[in-house]
Amino acid sequence: MKNNFFNELLIEGEFSVYNDYQFEVDESFLFNEDKPLKEMTGQELTNKKIKEELQLHKPFFESPIEGYKYLVASNKENAKQYKLSAYGHVFYTELAKLDITDQKKVLNFVKTWGLPTQIKTNNTSRKKGTDIEIDMMSLHDFRTKFGFFDAYFDSIRKLHNVETKIIGNVKKTSYEEFSQHFIDSADLIYHYKPSYKEGEPVALAFFEDMFEYAYLFLNLAIFKKAEFRKCENCDNLFEVTHQRQKFCPVTPGRKRSSCEMAYNNRLKKLKKKGD
């Protein structure tokens, strides 16, 4: 592929994965009502305002996991960091295959990748930067953002004759048409700014959350006309990075593909049963 703006975009920074996460049924995790006002720290006072605002807010979509409204980092000590540049081509296809109604699958996903998006109120900072560090997420907001992303990715499924997930007809488009669609909406889904590296001007990517990270790498895949294949274990699409690849790629914290290991284990069980 010839050099162009998109494949020369500089992607620095890391995303953080905390040690543990837990689901919350309401906003009580934000603020201890029993603590006297005069003993509160600045952060506790901010959390009090966030809680009050969230309690007044009625989300457009309900939570995808019944009975829970939030997913938060419950242990933030010794968080793991992974380079954004190393896993972008893996993350967006892993996000696309997630069943957001399955509590166990969502928790396992978050323990691998961190929280995909953050709580937004008038009292929370809307942080954009080269690093992504998120410690609490609204499941309602997650459902909304995932729905938009899944609709984008359904065009990729259609392009590769894979069953789509969105109800209704999804237009089978070309790479060129899909690329133009990204150009038209790019300012809404990811960001970049001028910077310098080794004295030379560069365009530096920065992100508000992991969805923007996913959109960027999906965009890069479309512009370079990346090859996609169906995983021989889970039947989901993944971006091919080497020609012998048959399974979804290795994810952070692992040495081998989870899909490859699951496939091989299944074959071993079948062979043992046959013997």
CA trace torsion 100, 101, 103, 108 (10° rounding) = -20
Structure tokens at 154: 């359904």
Q: Give the pLDDT score at 104.
A: 97
Q: What is the 3-state secondary structure (H, E, C) of 187-245?
A: HHHCEEEEEEECCEEEEEEEECCHHHHHHHHHHHHHHCCCCEEECCCCCCEEECCCCCC
Instruction: Provide the whole-model pTM.
Output: 0.87
Half-sphere exposure of residue 10, counting CA atoms within 13 Å on the CB side?
Answer: 15
What's the average pLDDT block by block, 10 residues per block, for the chain (275 residues)? 68 94 93 79 84 81 91 93 95 96 97 93 70 94 92 82 53 61 59 85 89 90 86 94 94 95 92 71
Smallest Cα–Cα separation from 155: which of 135, 185, 124? 185
Q: Give the pLDDT score at 213.
A: 93
d(CA 114, CA 110): 4
Q: Give the pLDDT score at 168.
A: 43
Q: Give the pLDDT score at 169.
A: 44
At 104, the amino acid letter reads K
d(CA 73, CA 137): 9
The answer to whether 131 and 144 have CB atoms below 8 angstroms apart is no
Q: Give the pLDDT score at 167.
A: 39
Q: Give the pLDDT score at 125.
A: 60
